[in-house]
Amino acid sequence: MQGSRWASSWIAFATIVTSVAACRGEHAPMAMAATGSAPPASAGAEAPGAPPPGSWPLPGRNAQGWRYSPLAQITADNVKNLQVAWTFSTGTARGFEGQPLVVDSTMYVVSPYPNHVFALDLTKTGGPVKWHYLPTTAPASQGEACCDVVNRGASYADGKIVFNRLDNHTVALDAKTGKVVWDTKLDSIEEGSTMTMAPLIAGNVVLVGNSGAELGVKGWAAGLDLGTGAVLWRAYSTGPDSVVKIGADFRPYYPQYKGKDLGVSTWPPDQWKLGGGTVWGWITYDPELNLIYYGTANPGVWNPDMRPGDNLWSAGVFARDPKTGDAHWAYQFTPHDSWDYDGVNENIPVDLTIDGQARKVIVHFDRNGFAYTIDRATGQVVVAQPYQSLNWATGVDPQTGKPVRVPSKETHQGVNTTDICPSSTGARDQQPAAFSPRTGLFYTPSTDLCMDYKGLKASYIAGTPYLGADVRMYAGPGGWNGRGQVIAWNAATGKRVWAITERFPVWSGPVVTGSDVLFYGTMDGWFKAVSARTGQELWKFKVGSGIVGNPMTYQGPDGKQYVAVYSGIGGWLGAIALGLSASDPTAALGATGAMPDLPKYTAPGGMLYVFALP
């Protein structure tokens, strides 16, 4: 019951929230009354099942994905002295997403394709290599990945480092030796599937999912036995209840999710077989309710007019039993998606006090621009408010759970639709938010881009002409110097508390510490520390290549607090810096048009940076 312990801090913040519109275009953090908002002594409690304070064993440190560390040596006062302690180059120069892990004086790094895994010895100066594992990842998998050959990291449990190869292998390595404990192939690149997400380990189960909706693959999540790698269950995101694993335990909150085989009947016949609903984001786990939460990607095929209906269970969230995979509830963020608003972003379990009531919720910042606070036991939407510019809907009706759509912003292939916000890259992509139990706030990166969806341009694929929409993305209301923001969010009220504006979309998921310092990186290569209470910038350092990874913090064997982050531009929006033609504004699914100036600020790299106080 964290909620009741720090509920009082909400009251302090309630008075200083600012509207989305007011934040827009600001280049400095919103001023706020920091004085008097110190948390009560009991605030700052870690989530149930939290790992040892100095460690970082899972992608979001705890299974809930808070990206919070209680470490507090680096403070708002001394962070200005932070300096590089050591660095490490992976030899790859593609989008370096994800984050390192630290367990038992060892740091674990997974690189983009070909998915090198390095164990670095933190007991020795400069973090020398303890072991290095280079898998035989199939080169052809590079041709299947939609949005750069990224990898979002590993999970640690029971002496094993578990990660996904781009070519659909989930591999467990002995954390001490780097030797393969098991290697399970889960899907086929020949059929378009790849794996880029970071596994999550919940108890004895390794949870993974696939990527590749662009190539028409069907999305699935799976649970593997941590000891053997055996597939315990696999649940598809579309199709009959038997393959979606909807059974006796399924009790969704809203009526539109009740009924038999909705993963078939909310599509034209057979269309559910054509893909979509991949599971490439972050999975989270709540040990209290023993449920995992994960989002599903947008529906396939692209042309929305070819698939009338809600297209369940795409662009939504599932709550499932981690051991059996049985669904407990589901909710769809974007029914009948026509904008590429994947629902894969993380769902962070927290306990909040909302309207005086203690609520067990998940908080989810969707690509569609709404931030959702959802009862994590029932799937009821408690709060849903825009956290970034959007115009495809006017709101979310809490009675029905459905967005109130704006018909003029719906896309239809062959029909010009302009000024759609957010763009297909979303008000945020996968880069995850952080939650501080001390401030009670969420900290989410975000993107402020809009798009035009026009015309039909003929091209050629597999010996066949096809028609591509001419998608052009451009700066949203925040302007070209404000294409990204870091937003502090009150999930109980659905309001911004402060926001920091960045030139480029922020594609780095922050970490927040026990001393209320927030770290994040920018695509133009600045690694920054700001106050988690006010957003005031405290320190920054220019790394070699743009940051699309997520910083983390740990305590070294010497007792000191360190902060680590990957530097390596890439990913979907960062692809332009990898040499994709800037002369074609529709390249990378229209994303390069939004980022023409990125190559002036950064170039490819693949480095780990570790910082410490002198």
Does 315 sit near another protein (CB under 8 A)?
no
Among 59, 570, 590, 604, binds another protein (CB under 8 A): 590
Calculate the alpha carbon distances from 479 to 180, 475, 495 in Å: 49, 5, 22
Specify the amino acid at residue 474. Y
For 220-356, strand residue ranges (E) read 220-225, 231-236, 284-286, 291-295, 316-320, 327-332, 348-354
Q: Is the omega angle on the peptide bond into residue 313 within 30 degrees of 0, that is, cis?
A: yes
Contact between 298 and another protein (CB under 8 A)? Answer: yes
- Contact call for residue 604 and another protein (CB under 8 A): no
Q: Is 301 in the site for another protein (CB under 8 A)?
A: yes
**Distance in Å, CB of 307 to another protein, minimum:** 7
Of 214 and 502, nearer to another protein (C-beta) is 214
User: Distance (Å, rounded) from C-alpha 562 to C-alpha 126?
Assistant: 13
Q: Which is nearer to another protein, 199 or 299 (CB)?
A: 299
Q: What angle do CA 399, 404, 410 make, to 5 degrees?
A: 150
Work out whether 605 is an interface residue with another protein (CB under 8 A): no
For another protein, the closer CB: 85 or 138: 138
Confirm or reject binding of residue 41 to another protein (CB under 8 A). no
Residue 109 touches another protein, criterion: CB under 8 A: no
Interface with another protein, residue 274, by CB under 8 A: yes
State the Cα angle at 493 between 490 and 495, rounded to 5°: 55
- The residue annotated as part of the active site, out of 46, 340, 351, 452, is 340
Which residue in this structure is represented by tokens 């009706």? 397
Q: Does 273 bind another protein (CB under 8 A)?
A: yes
Residue 60 CB partners (closer than 8 Å, separation 6+): 66, 67, 282, 284, 346, 348, 432
Q: Which stretch binds another protein (CB under 8 A): 81-89, 172-180, 377-385, 460-468?
A: 460-468
Selected binder of another protein within 276, 494, 551, 570 (CB under 8 A): 276
Nearer Cβ to another protein, position 408 or 581? Answer: 581
Cβ-based nearer residue to another protein, 81 or 136: 136
Nearer Cβ to another protein (80/457): 457
Write out the binding residues for another protein, residues 521-580 only, by CB under 8 A.
Answer: 580
Binding mask 178-217 for another protein (x = CB under 8 A): ----------xxxxx-------------------xxxxxx
To which H or E segment does residue 129 belong? Answer: strand 129-133
Window 120-149: residues binding another protein (CB under 8 A): 138, 140, 143, 146
Contact status: 414 vs another protein (CB under 8 A):
yes
Given the complex with another protein, which of 146 and 421 has the nearer CB atom?
A: 146
How near is the Cβ of 275 to another protein at its closest, in Å?
A: 6
Neighbouring C-beta atoms of residue 468, cutoff 10 Å:
16
Tell me which residue of 231, 225, 235, 310 sits closest to 272, measured CA to CA.
310
Q: Least Å distance between CB 95 and another protein? A: 15
Burial label, 16 (beta-carbon count in 10 A; 0-12, 13-18, 19+)? middle
Cα separation, 193 vs 209, whole angstroms: 10
If the CB atoms of residues 565 and 589 are measured against another protein, the closer one turns out to be 589
How many whole angstroms separate alpha carbon 235 and alpha carbon 254?
21
Q: How far is the CB of 311 from another protein (least distance, A)?
A: 11
Instruction: Determine, following the binding rule CB under 8 A, whether residue 447 of this chain makes contact with another protein.
Output: no
Only one residue has tokens 């009150």, namely: 490
Position 271 contacts another protein (CB under 8 A): yes
For residue 268, state whether it binds another protein (rule: CB under 8 A).
yes
Number of residues that bind another protein (CB under 8 A): 58
**Residue with smaller CB distance to another protein, 153 or 585:** 585
Nearer to another protein, 191 or 558 (CB): 191
Q: Taking the chain, what is the end-to-end CA distance rounded to the nearest angstrom?
A: 38
Pick from 299, 426, 544, 605: which binds another protein (CB under 8 A)? 299
Q: Give me the catalytic one of 187, 214, 310, 366.
A: 214
Q: How far is the CB of 360 from another protein (least distance, A)?
A: 33
Closest distance of CB 420 from another protein, Å: 13
Q: Which of 74-82, 351-359, 383-391, 581-589 is the region at the interface with another protein (rule: CB under 8 A)?
A: 581-589
300 binds another protein (CB under 8 A): yes
Place of tokens 């009675």: 399
97 is catalytic: no
Rounded CA-CA distance 123/249 in Å is 48
Q: Select 127 or 276, whichever has its Cβ closest to another protein.
A: 276
- Phi, psi for 185 (deg, rounded to 5): -90, 125
Angstrom CA distances, 470 to 89, 162, 306, 493, stand at 38, 40, 19, 38
Task: Confirm whether 298 is a catalytic residue.
Answer: yes
Cis peptide before 117 (omega within 30 of 0): no
Please report how close the Cβ of residue 444 comes to another protein at its closest, in angstroms.
25
> Do the bridges between strand 552-555 and strand 561-567 make them parallel or antiparallel, or are there none, so unpaired?
antiparallel
Catalytic hit among 164, 298, 347, 368: 298
- Give the pairing type, strands 291-295 and 403-405: unpaired
CA distances from 489 to 19, 351, 485, 565 (A): 11, 15, 12, 23
Per the annotation, the verdict on 340 as an active-site residue is yes
Of 239-247, 292-300, 376-384, 491-499: span binding another protein (CB under 8 A): 292-300
418 three-class SS: strand
Site string for another protein, 44-63 (x = CB under 8 A): --------------------
- Residue 114 binds another protein (CB under 8 A): no
Give the integer Cα–Cα distance in Å for 508 and 512.
13
Distance CA 18, CA 260 (A): 44
State the minimum distance, in angstroms, from the CB of residue 214 to another protein. 4
**In whole angstroms, how close is the CB of 470 to another protein at the nearest point?**
9
CA distance 344 to 299: 12
Q: Which of 193, 131, 191, 206 is nearest to 166 (CA)?
A: 193
Cβ atoms of residues 118 and 90 within 8 Å: yes
Which is nearer to another protein, 60 or 299 (by Cβ)? 299
* 599 touches another protein by CB under 8 A: no
- Which stretches of the chain bind another protein, using CB under 8 A? 138, 140, 143, 146, 188-192, 212-217, 268-271, 273-276, 298-303, 305-308, 340, 413-414, 424, 453, 456-469, 471, 580-581, 584, 589-590
For the annotated catalytic residues, the residue numbers are: 214, 298, 340
